[in-house]
Structure 1
Amino acid sequence: MSEERRTCQRPDCAGAYEDMGGGELYCDTCGLAPVVPPKAGPAPEPVGSVGSAPTGINGATTGSSSQSARSRRSVSGRLSRSLPGRSGGRSVSVRGSGSASGSSGRGRLGAGLVVVPQVPRPDPRAMVLDNPQVPERKRYCSRSDCGAPVGRARGERPGRTEGFCTKCGHPYSFVPKLRAGDIVHGQYEVAGCLAHGGLGWIYLAVDRAVSDRWVVLKGLLDTGDQDAMAAAISERRFLAEIEHAGIVRIYNFVEHLDQRTGSLDGYIVMEYVGGKSLKEIANGRRTPDGRRDPLPVEQACAYGIEALEALGHLHSRNLLYCDFKVDNAIQTEDQLKLIDMGAVRRMDDDESAIYGTVGYQAPEVADVGPSAASDLYTVGRTLAVLTFDFQGYTTVHSDSLPDPDTIEVFRRYESFYRFLVRATDPDPARRFASAQEMADQLTGVLREVVSLSTGQARPALSTLFGPEVRVTDTELFPALDGDVSRLGARALPGPARPPALPPALVRPVDTPAAALALPVPLVDPNDPDAGFLAGLSTSAPGELIAALEAAPGRGVETRLRRVRARLENGDREAALATLARLDEERPDDWRVVWYRGVAALVTGDFESAALAFDAIYDAFPGEAAPKLALGLCAEVLGQLDNAAEYYRLVWTTDPSFVSAAFGLARVRLASGDRAGAVRTLESVPESSIHYTAARVAAVRARLRHRTAAAGDVPFLDDLTAAAGQVEALDAYGLDPARRERLSAEVLGCALDWILSRGQDTARPVDGGRVLLGSGLDERGLRFGLERAYRTLARLAPGGEERINLVERANRYRPRTWV
């Protein structure tokens, strides 16, 4: 180190400059460089970890993050990424689907869907720091347009805890201004320091005037101007009006004279919230090798829902939180609270300093300032930080998400990934329209995640879609018009009959009918024709079209209803013409995009339909309807794996969508997973009106188009199970004709199995097992088939059909002496 010394230029400083090497001079007393001209405008923020950035109240980073030119709007679903038109698919911008404010009385975390481990409320005295110090790596200039490192070590000399920024000359101090026993405002007795924030130390105190309750004192921005401080206190008093269970309560704003410096310091007096911050909870989870173990998605979603409810309350009062992150939310027992209200500002405030944190703050804040959309962005980023090892979230990914193929939680939960993509879209207009809408979609994602992880469905009514209109394609298999047994039927005398072709394994889906059976978007209550549409009682398409033509107004909802009615009436050209006009006027209205997908399915343009429904999935990742539609698109496009996954997501979450069960069974059968198809069909609950149809399909799925090989024990088990289900269906009103046809199919398959074994067919199998009242041997099964066909003949409406059924009965009848 050079021995050159010069007197400090600062008038009130008796120190001298030291050459620290390279010609850099710093005062050995105040730490100020000789000449530091102040910069005009905000300086760029340091890039790095949150801990190394200039911070605001309670760790809030000052300034705003740099904006990346990269667009994160690159969601590629497992279906749409394989389509040639994916890059040209249009996204959806939406209106809010509900109020921005939320209720304040939720009893516990997780919306009743998941149990979040409670965090016990600690003894406040135990939280006081014994030796309050700020690590050198976290010492930064508090001036909003500077943020330079201060108080750092030089060689072997430790960094100064007080001094002046060598870059801008602004004073800094990391020494607590208040000590245990100090009385602030004649009311608050200081117990000690709790933590250090961007504006100074945070203190625990006892309110001697109100039942000795515990409170927290946080410093206000130290301007050095008493009049400005008084004005700041007056301006911030609106925070005391905020009352919400998820937001820390502000009690008072006070001033205190610092006896050591003579400065008049301002403090926010706020509720003491004992517990752990989300940052502490996340950092406390470690794998056996010491690495951080991300939170379960369910737990993170539970936190997000509560945070959005609190933010929605602020937004409803024209306030912005500005700096939500893992540091600024505390779980105490079974409740989450937002803390650190120092960054809160009015939506129309264009004067106050903006506080945010690199890696959390929305990219547009640097240019246009904060907004409700930028608040929602911070929630999305926080959920990302909590749920996976988000390397580089303050640097290379400061305003982007990693490739979903590299993140295991994104591969497992596509809906969660799509939720984060929309929440953190670079374009604020493409994010969720309100905290309420975002919370609704996050709750839907949570329902899906919980259903997948527990196997227990978590259905709920949608705020955007009605239920599925109808369930189509419940008859999975073509009818068997000929003999039910390939080996056991003997031809009657007469002309030779041509051999029967093997029937198709699964009946193809009726795509237009299935498209029109998809859920219908709910009518926007703000539409001028909402009342008129609610009063429509006719359901016949022709009558409905006439009624819609006579509608008093020409609102969007009426025109959309007309599109649907014309599609149902088969007037596709008129429907497409109306939809084309709507598309020109409102190309990004999600309802128009939805009907564009429905019309494309009806007209056979399956790829365009998939792109439209994929855009709806991007916009509403918590909804079942777009996934159900994408499952149908994937099925008709021949992408069976993708179809099975989308159908599975819907059916696992909400069993009221029975068409998802039949769709999943179809694609599993088509891909050779007979057992999976049977499990799906048998999972349709008894409460469903389609229970009988599902059980009938399950019986046929076990047996239809199956080769009965000798010694096939699983086939015998399937025969027994199928017979038991046929008998059980008697209690559910299965009509006699269908019952006997199903019995004939079971007995015919059993006869084939007996004859294919190549053993004594007159000897009962498996200790005399009985199927549908018939012994499991050739003679018993033939008598059973004869009985079934004769019953069907008595039930047949026409003579020719009756004759054919009697002939089949005779064909199966065993030879007897009488």
Structure 2
Amino acid sequence: MCNRPDCGRGEIDEQGFCDVCDREPLPADRAGPAARAPQPARAPQPARGPSVGVAHVRPDPWYGLGLVDSDQAPEAADVPRRSADPVPEEHRYCANPSCMQPVGRGHDGEPGRTTGFCPHCGTGFDFSQPGGRTIAGRYDLQLVLGSGAYGAAFLAHDRNLATDVVLKALNKSVARTALHERDVLVGLRHDSIVRILGYERQGPHLVLEYVPGVPLSARDGDRLETLLAHGVRVLQALDYLHARGLLHCDVKPLNIIRFREESPAGALDRVRLIDFGAVRSQKDTGRIVACTPAYAPPEDDPDHLRPAPGFDLYGLGMTLREVCRSRWTDRSAPGVDSLHLLLDRATDVERPWRRFVSARQFAEQLSGVIRQVVAGPPAHRQVARPSALFGSMPEPLHGGLGAARPLAHWVGAEPDEDGTLTLRAAFSSPEPGDIAAALPVPLSDPDDPGMAGSAGTALAECRLALRRKDSAQAERTLSAAGLPNWHWLHAWYSGLIALARADAPRAAAEFIQVRTALPGELIPQLALGLCAELRGDHAAARSYYGAVFDTTPALGAAGFGLARVHVLAGERAKAVATAERLAQEFRYEREARVAAVRLRAMVLGGPSSHPAPTEDDLERAGASLVGLSVDRAAAAGLRAEIRYAKFLRDHDRVKLSDAIRELAPHAPTEREYVALVDLANRLRPPLRWRWSGRRGRTGHSRFGETPGTLSSDTPSGGRGHAP
């Protein structure tokens, strides 16, 4: 049983790795008391001091695969059975196992001989074509499948197993590594790794499973998410390989075979990582001596001088750049800008410390990009899932949209001669300090466990200071955390501190750094949308909010922000539609339904781009009040807002006065009660006295010389009614 505290449920396989988390068990002195011996159950203890939380293991960095349909399986590859091409010169070696010297090589610009005898031992050779040669008495060569820096690959027929295999010819430097690692290689078992069947000393050659397919490339009709899903599958293979202490060292499109796999559910589109001729142990500290330069870091790069998993991840980044080149030209398309940022990070040669350090880290961001891509047409698939790097964000930051107008707006309203009221703004952008306190808590970086120590405590104290709106203390604790300036956590907290100081441009600059580091995450885009709204850049805010809301409406702050910028742009219908979509999320249902009512009835002053609500808008707003779960005060406030919008169309002062009078009983103070009643009275129509025209028999009025009687047009009960 795996003894890692973040797993604890997997069985250890024959290679000594857990079959669940794909890692070796911890040594006994590091496994912790819970893993060394069973302990009695204890009641949970309260946490001591602040904490930012720790995510030791990314729960499911491969989730992007579940978002992509596999209904575009390629046709089975039609591979010729014979080849007339000679074996490439760089792969011509003596077949004598005790010699293995280069033969058939060219000199002075002249091509080498394809047939002849080894000058060192006299063994004959024939490289005119693979067909007709037999390796180790059982592998009949048929054609050259390809060649690279480490050797040629041949399609061969295995006489013993009566099946086709691939023989990978190795040069001497690689042969030593392959011989050393052959037992591990033969034991590899992964759906996205070609099966390595054995090792033949003659040549020497690796014997691999034959996968009838084609190198990874974009086909006609391929959607972007399909190609990205293949990237996730390769990352799964690399994660499996790296966990066993091995590096592939030659990840490129030619070494990723795309093939058709038959299954009970139908044909599937799959890939496998092939060509393990360059495989090496991570314990080998020597630099890479041969590789495919276009898919490898520069020769003076740290991952080149001392190879680590980052070497393979760089190769995959370059591979995705090539494969997706024709599918990412429009950066405004869903997820495409995030993909550019992702691959910029994966292949950054100027700042190699920014690159991904593990396949799981890369895959999590790539899955996040896939989630953004499939949110657009034609899939329109929205996926809500917890982040491995950010905590939850329950605060909707609706800016007043999700609640009735405060009574203070009506108390302070002033009517003009026509009854038109001077009201405060119907809503506003959230306050910068409130945004800083509401944005979610980052979890510790799973790829940098050191962040969970003293740095984690300092960051938690920084959060507490931000909630107290003490930006100076927050800045001091962030400095005490000792984070490098390039780390996304440092940029995130710097952005929050800038928001606490109401410096939206500075905050946006910091959040852009987080966005470039974590392009698959939605929280940085939400933060940038809020900053853009604070700066008055509604076009940028709409872009960020739309990307987040289209991907997952569960982040309610994006939905409310999108509704705000839509209505300010005069797009009332879009604003209402956004609120109604958000109302389908249980957490925000009530606030979103209130926002939908208010958006239909809302009167915005100012430019002509803010058209008044139509009669249909107001009828729908009134109908939406039925069944709305709000208290009496909120219901009265919503009715008053709808009635005021109607008043601007029908000028019925009496009904508006009555609607405002209904607000008075909900006033918290006597002063506000009196102010609301007074406003209602002032809105009553003025008295208009007229002569009745009735005269007495003598031709005189009841009151002497006056030719008529006085009557009032004002209904009883109105202010100023005649006694």
Global fold match (TM > 0.5)? yes
1:568 matched to which residue of 2? 467
Correspondence for 2:530:
632
Residue in structure 1 matched with residue 635 of structure 2 by the alignment: 739
**CA deviation vs aligned residue, 1:735-770 (integer Å, no higher than 9, x gap):** 122112212221331232235xxxxxxxxxxxxxxx
Conserved in 2, the CA contact under 8 Å of 1:668 and 1:676?
Answer: yes
Task: Identify the match of residue 649 of structure 2 among 730, 749, 753.
Answer: 753
1:346-357 equivalences in 2 (<5 Å): 346-349=281-284, 354-357=289-292
Deviations 1:274-295 (A, max 9, x none): 233213xx2x43xxxxxxx8x5
Counterpart of 1:175, as a letter, is: S
Counterpart of 1:336 in structure 2 is 271
Tell me how far apart the structure 2 counterparts of residues 360 and 172 of structure 1 sit (CA, whole Å): 34
Once residues 690 and 300 of structure 1 are traced to their aligned partners in structure 2, the CA distance between those partners, rounded to angstroms, is 35
Alpha carbons of structure 1 residues 783 and 705: separation in structure 2 relative to 1, 3 Å: closer
Question: Which residue of 1 is the match for residue 297 of structure 2?
Answer: 362
CA distance in structure 2 between the partners assigned to 1:353 and 1:323 by the alignment: 10
Q: Deviations over 1:309-338 (max 9, x none)?
A: 111111111111111111111223333210
Counterpart pick for 1:129 among 81, 92, 100: 81
Partners of 1:559 and 1:483 lie apart in 2 by 45
Looking at structure 1, the residues matched to 156 and 193 of structure 2 have their Cα atoms a distance apart, in angstroms, of 18
Q: Does 1:723 align with 2:622?
A: yes
Q: Residues 509-559 of structure 1, C-alpha deviation per residue, up to 9 Å, x if partnerless?
A: 2110111100111246886996xxxxxxxxxxxxxxxxxxxxxxx711111
Offset at residue 719 of structure 1 (A):
1.5
Structure 1 position 801, deviation (Å): 4.4
- Of 442, 452, 461, the residue aligned with 2:386 is 461
Give the stretch that moved more between structures: 466-475 or 624-633.
466-475
The yes-or-no answer on 1:559 pairing with 2:458 is yes
Q: How does 1:229-244 map to 2 (within 5 A)?
A: 233=179, 235-244=181-190
Alignment partner, residue 550 of structure 1: none
Change (3 A) 1:667 1:465: same
**740-749 or 596-605, which moves further after superposition?**
740-749
> What is the aligned partner in structure 1 of residue 47 from structure 2?
none
Alignment-derived partner of residue 380 in structure 1: 317
The residue that corresponds to 2:344 in the other structure is: 421
Query: What amino acid does structure 1 have at the position aligned with 2:330?
Result: E
Query: Contact 2:83–2:142 at 8 Å: present in 1 too?
Result: no
Partner Cα separation in structure 2 for residue 265 and residue 733 of structure 1: 79
SS of the residue aligned with 1:122?
coil
Q: Distance in 1 between matches of 2:86 and 2:56?
A: 45
Q: Distance in 1 between matches of 2:660 and 2:396?
A: 31
Q: Does 1:408 align with 2:333?
A: no
Please say if 1:113 is aligned against 2:12.
Answer: no
How far is 1:692 from its partner? 1.9
Q: State the match for 1:197 in structure 2.
A: 147
| 2:130/2:141 contact within 8 Å kept | no
Aligned with 1:438 (options 362, 381, 387): 362
The Cα of 1:722 is off from its aligned counterpart by 1.5
User: Which residue of the other structure, out of 480, 484, 494, is the alignment partner of 1:596?
Assistant: 494
Quick one: structure 1 residues 315 and 173, their matched pair in 2 at CA, closer, same or farther if it must change by over 3 Å?
farther
Secondary structure at the residue paired with 2:168?
strand
More moved, 741-750 vs 794-803: 794-803
Tell me if structure 1 keeps the 8 A contact 2:317–2:343. yes
Q: Are 1:218 and 1:268, in contact at CA under 8 Å, matched by a contact in 2?
A: yes
Does 1:481 pair with 2:410?
yes
TM-score (ref. length: structure 2): 0.72
SS state of the match for residue 330, structure 1? strand
Q: Deviations over 1:405-424 (max 9, x none)?
A: xx434776221111011000
- Corresponding letter in the other structure for 2:215: S
Deviation, structure 1 residue 222: 6.6
Displacement, 1:178?
4.5
For 1:580, give the aligned amino acid: S
Find the aligned partners of 2:383 and 2:397 in 1 and give their Cα distance: 24
- Report the equivalent of 1:217: 167
Distance in 2 of aligned mates of 1:528 and 1:419: 24
Which ranges of structure 1 fall in alignment gaps of 5 or more residues? 1-95, 165-170, 256-263, 286-292, 391-403, 491-498, 531-553, 756-777
User: Whose RCO is larger (CA < 8 A, sep 6+)?
Assistant: 1
How many corresponding residue pairs?
598
Q: Specify which of 310, 320, 334 is matched with residue 237 of structure 2.
A: 310
1:35 is aligned to: none
Q: Distance in 2 between matches of 1:373 and 1:276?
A: 26
Following the alignment from structure 1 to structure 2, what is the Cα–Cα distance between the partners of residues 484 and 204? 88
**d(CA) in 1 for partners of 2:500, 2:432:** 7
Structure 1, residues 139-181: CA drift from partner, whole Å, max 9, x if none? 664599xx9x9889x9xx99975699xxxxxx997533443xx
User: In the alignment, is the contact (CA less than 8 A) between 1:322 and 1:375 conserved in 2?
Assistant: yes
Shift of 1:377: 0.8
8 Å contact kept, 1:484–1:745:
no
Contact 2:213 2:258 survives alignment (8 Å): yes
**Preserved contact between residue 143 and residue 156 of structure 2 (Cα < 8 Å):** yes
* Aligned partner (choices 213, 223, 226) of residue 275 of structure 1: 213
> What is the aligned partner in structure 2 of residue 699 from structure 1?
597
Given that 1:651 and 1:657 are in contact with CA atoms closer than 8 Å, whether structure 2 keeps it comes out as yes
The 1:194/1:326 distance shift into structure 2, 3 A limit, reads same
- Runs of 5+ in structure 2 lacking a partner? 1-53, 94-101, 118-123, 262-267, 686-712, 718-723
CA contact (8 A) 1:529 1:558 kept: no
* Aligned residue type for 1:600: A
Q: State the Cα distance separating 1:733 from its structure 2 match.
A: 1.7
- Three-state SS of the structure 2 residue aligned to 1:343 is coil
Cα distance between partner residues in 2 of 1:487 and 1:162:
105
Q: Deviations over 1:9-53 (max 9, x none)?
A: xxxxxxxxxxxxxxxxxxxxxxxxxxxxxxxxxxxxxxxxxxxxx
Secondary structure in 1 matching 2:366: helix
Shift of residue 502, structure 1, vs aligned partner: 5.1
Asked if structure 2 preserves the Cα contact closer than 8 Å seen for 1:277 and 1:329, the reply is yes
Report sequence identity in percent: 32
Corresponding residue of 2:481: 582
Q: Specify the alignment match of 1:301 in structure 2.
A: 228
Q: 1:615 aligns with which of 495, 509, 513?
A: 513
Does the alignment pair 1:321 with 2:234?
A: no
Deviates more, 1:192-201 or 1:346-355: 346-355
Aligned AA for 2:341? Answer: R
State the Cα distance separating 1:680 from its structure 2 match: 1.9
Residues in 2 aligned to 1:365 and 1:671: alpha-carbon distance in whole angstroms? 52
Of residues 735-744 and 194-203 in structure 1, the stretch that sits farther from structure 2 once superposed is 194-203
Q: Which amino acid aligns with 1:419?
A: L
Against the structure 1 CA distance between its residues 464 and 364, is the aligned structure 2 distance closer, same or farther, given a 3 Å change threshold? farther
Residue of structure 2 equivalent to 1:759: none
C-alpha distance in structure 1 between counterparts of 2:571 and 2:399, whole Å: 18
Cα distance, 1:97–1:740 mapped onto 2, change above 3 Å: closer
SS at match of 2:143: strand
For residues 539 and 213 of structure 2, the distance between their equivalents in structure 1, rounded to whole angstroms, comes to: 45
Quote the offset at 1:357 in angstroms: 2.0
